[in-house]
Amino acid sequence: MKRETIHTPRAGRPGIAWALPAVLFFVFFAAAPMGIVGYLSFTDWDGLSDPSWTGMDNWSKLWNDDRMRNAIWLSLLLTALTWLTQTPIVLLLGVWAAGRQRNRAVLSAIFFLPLLASSVALALLWRTIFDPNLGLAPDVANWFNLDSSDLLGSPTGAFVAILFVTGWQFVPFHTLIYQGGARNIPQSLYDAAAIDGAGTVRQFFHVTLPQLRNTIVTSTVLMVVGALTYFDTVLILTRGGPGDSTSIVPYLMYETGFRAFDLGYASAVAAALVITATGISLLLVRLTGFNRMRSTREGM
């Protein structure tokens, strides 16, 4: 059947004025600062005197900077590992939490608690837990005959700690997204699958997973962009250390800008990060066909 072109009735169409407040806020708090950062990335500025124009200096330094290379590698690694470790967990948890039994509601409520605390408070909490002499983590590790006493002091340990703490913090959020997605799947699909003889596992792979396609894309984009811009946890938990081993791009940007006060170069790092994160999320959206907005209920 040929689809009818939808004509929006003129009365119902909101005027441009409705968008004005949002547009103005966007211009003042997002577009303008980005423009300024773009300008600053071509200058040398210590934050006190006037910026002086240096052309492409900061940008060419960006290509040849070992610390920057290390930071990009760490950021990409963190992003990939974040996706790989969190996605299976949040997918299963979200689908499980979408059920209606009473105990699930209570457990879910407890489970979502980390979502309510600020990342700074959580990072401070975990830093204390990881203290090798006074914290809990070394004791727990001892029970399993592991040595975690120097967790934050070893390059790998510190990286794993960040992966763990940010995961612990953001899993509830993504679980919530999946829970919402899973609850939207029509029961009739499961009923039909059951009649066809599909068990729980087949139902999961042939009904739940395909129906969650858009949810997966949304969660993935949020995870990727989030992991590329993690900052507060790193600042408090490891301060990029030991050495440079957890110095991911946003942290390097902060350290360059607000510790060494090389704000021109920090702006170049920031601009590069914006370009990369935008590029990656656009690419994800395009590759997954998310931009076509195809409904998972088509054909129903």
Partner 1 sequence: MRSPNLRPRLRVLSVAAATAVTATTLAACGSDGPSGGSESLQVWTYQDGSSTIQEDFVEQFNETSDVQISLTQIPGENYQDRMRTAMGSSNAPDIFFNWGGGSIADFVDQDMLIDLTDHLADDPEFGDAFIPSILDAGALDGRYYGVPMRGVQPVILFYNQTLFDEAGVQPPGTLDDLFDLVETFQERDVTPAVLAGADPWTELMWLEYLLDRRGGADIFDRIRNGESEAWGEPAVLQAAQDAIDLVDAGAFGNNFRSVSYTTDGASTFFAQGEAAMHLMGSWEFANQLSNQEEFAENDLAWATFPEIDGGTGDPAALVGNPTNYWSVNAQVEDEKLDAALEFLKLHATQEYASALTANGDIPTTADAADLLDQAPTPDYARFQYEMVQNAPSFTLSWDQALPASQATPMINHIEELFSGQLSAQQFVDAMLDL
Binding site for partner 1 (CB under 8 A): 9-11, 15, 17-18, 20-21, 24-25, 28-29, 46-49, 124, 127-128, 130-134, 138, 149-155, 240-245, 255, 258-262
Mutual angle of helices 102-111 and 66-97, in 10-degree steps: 160
* CB 287 to partner 1: min, Å: 37
* CB 17 to partner 1: min, Å: 5
Unique residue bearing structure tokens 């592991």: 146
Choice between 154 and 288, CB closer to partner 1: 154
* CB 166 to partner 1: min, Å: 18
* CB 265 to partner 1: min, Å: 10
Q: In the Cβ-directed half-sphere of 96, how many Cα atoms lie within 13 Å?
A: 14
6: left (phi over 0), alpha (psi -120 to 50) or beta: beta
Q: Give Cα separations from 224 to 84, 140, 209, 275, 299 (angstroms).
A: 11, 31, 20, 14, 32
Q: Kindly tell me the burial class for residue 260, based on how many C-beta atoms sit within 10 Å of its own C-beta (0-12, 13-18, 19 or more).
A: exposed
Choice between 153 and 279, CB closer to partner 1: 153
* CB 32 to partner 1: min, Å: 8
Report the Cα 5 to chain-centroid distance in Å.
Answer: 38
